[in-house]
Amino acid sequence: MPKGSWREKAKRLKTEVYALCLAMKDSRVPWYAKVIMALTIGYAISPIDLIPDFIPVIGQLDDLIIVPAGISLVIKMIPKNVIEEYRQKAQVESVNTRTKWVVAGIIVSIWILDIYFVFRLVAPLFFK
């Protein structure tokens, strides 16, 4: 498979996710679509998975199935005219740098909290 096709798919996925993020603020999007999108994004950025990533093949496979399935489900729940409007807007706009840093900060904060809580649970076992 040529490299260009993978790049195109990645670019389309990025645009699709950005369009969904823009659409989530719209009042024409049903509340249940917003909930499923929030759960999908939460699962994608969460360090906690249904199947841990250290299990070979299957650990990464759940991410490759659950996240795209959630995105696909949300797209089907949003009215066609609304998602098309935001797809066009997502192709013209790009995610600004401030938004990227905010998202990165949230992800780093989640990891720091996870490490802190694991340390709090494990430390008493080693330091009595």
Cα angle for residues 74, 40, 70 (degrees, 5° grid): 40
Do 82 and 128 belong to one domain? no
Do 73 and 100 belong to one domain? no
The residue among 28, 118, 117 whose CA lies nearest residue 81 is 28
Above pLDDT 90, what percent of the chain?
22
Do 75 and 102 belong to one domain? no
pLDDT tier at 2 (50, 70, 90 boundaries)? low
Do 89 and 101 belong to one domain? no
Residue 25 belongs to domain spanning = 3-93
Do 125 and 73 belong to one domain? no
Query: What is the total count of domains within the chain?
Result: 2
pLDDT tier at 9 (50, 70, 90 boundaries)? confident
0.85 exceeded by pTM: no
What is the mean pLDDT of the segment spanning 82-110? 80
Burial status of residue 123 (CB atoms within 10 A of its CB: 0-12, 13-18, 19 or more): exposed
Above pLDDT 70, what percent of the chain?
86
